[in-house]
Amino acid sequence: MATATRQAVLCEWCKKPLRRNSTDGLNITYGDINAAEQRGMEIERREVESRNRPLKARPLSGDPIEFPHWRWEHLSCTEGEGYFIAMNRIRDSSMAMAWTVHLMEKTWFRYTEWESAMRRGGLVGSTN
């Protein structure tokens, strides 16, 4: 796969570019990790509830559940401590894949907006 010239990744707080080989990076706060765990439990509860109802009585959906965001940010702009991945440890798609596989072991991971963070970071292209 050709490495396209990537757009600069912007800090989601000050909107200025992040330096590629720096210790700035991708963060999800501990508060948001906790929120992701709560969302996960809520989703599982709804699934169980829905399974226990006769098919006809199942609601189409509950209120949409939003997932917490990962944010690209300068260390100096961060809104809080969290699970942090420095830019120099997630420089390209193959490193991003390794992080994805690693993070999939965490119970809260699938209830976060990882995919959109990867897109904003220019780490995934089109599958077409």
Q: From 14-22, 44-52, 98-106, 116-124, give the range in contact with Zn ion by CB under 5 A.
A: 14-22
The amino acid that residue 120 corresponds to is R
Count of helices and strands (H, E) across the chain: 3, 3
Q: From 33-41, 66-74, 78-86, 87-95, give the range in contact with Zn ion by CB under 5 A.
A: 66-74
Q: How far is the CB of 43 from Zn ion (least distance, A)?
A: 32
53-73 burial by CB neighbour count: b if 16+ within 10 A, else e? eeeeeeeeeeeeeebbbbbbb
Query: What mask of x and - would describe binding to Zn ion in positions 77 to 106, judged by CB under 5 A?
Result: x-----------------------------
- The residues, ordered by sequence, that sit 6+ positions from 18 with a Cβ below 8 Å of its Cβ are 8, 9, 10, 11, 24, 25, 72, 73, 74, 87
Comparison of 46 and 122: residue with beta carbon closer to Zn ion? 122
Q: How far is the CB of 128 from Zn ion (least distance, A)?
A: 33
Binding site for Zn ion (CB under 5 A): 11, 13-14, 74, 77
